[in-house]
Structure 1
Amino acid sequence: MINAIQSKLEEYTGEILGITRIVAAFMFLQHGTQKMFSFPVAANAPFELLSRGGIAGTIEVIGGILLLIGLYTRPVAFLCSGLMAFAYWLAHAPRGFFLWTVGNGGDAAVLYCFLFLYIAAVGGGKFSVDAARGG
Structure 2
Amino acid sequence: MIRSDDTGKLVLRLALGILILLHGIAKINGGVGFLSSTLASHGLPGALAYLVYIGEIVAPVLLIIGLYTRPAAWIMVINMLVAIWLVHMKELGLLNKQGGWALELQGMYLFGALAVAFLGAGRFSIGGTGGKYN
Runs of 4+ in 1 over 4 A off after TM superposition: none
Q: What are the residue-to-residue correspondences of 1:13-32 with 2, within 5 Å? A: 13-32=5-24
Identify which of 113, 116, 133 aligns with 1:116: 113
- After superposition, give the CA deviation of every residue in 1:89-117 in whole Å (9 maximum; x if it has no partner): 211113x4x22264796322221111111
Match of residue 83 from structure 1: 79
Match of residue 129 from structure 1: 126
Aligned length: 117
Q: Is the 8 A contact 1:101 1:107 kept in 2?
A: no
Please report the RMSD computed on the Cα atoms of aligned residues, expressed in angstroms.
2.4
Amino acid at match of 1:82: I
Amino acid at match of 2:121: G
Percent identity of equivalent pairs: 26
Determine helix, strand or coil for the equivalent of 1:130.
Answer: coil
Amino acid at match of 1:22: L
TM-score for the superposition, normalised by structure 2: 0.74
- After superposition, give the CA deviation of every residue in 1:62-115 in whole Å (9 maximum; x if it has no partner): 111111101000111011111101111211113x4x222647963222211111
Structure 2: unaligned runs, 5 residues or longer = 37-45
Higher RCO (Cα < 8 Å, 6 or more apart)? 2
Give the whole-Å Cα distance in 2 for the aligned partners of 1:23 and 1:76: 14
Q: Is the 8 A contact 1:21 1:119 kept in 2?
A: yes
> Is the aligned partner of 1:60 residue 2:56?
yes
Match of residue 39 from structure 2: none
Structure 1: unaligned runs, 5 residues or longer = 1-7
TM-score for the superposition, normalised by structure 1: 0.73
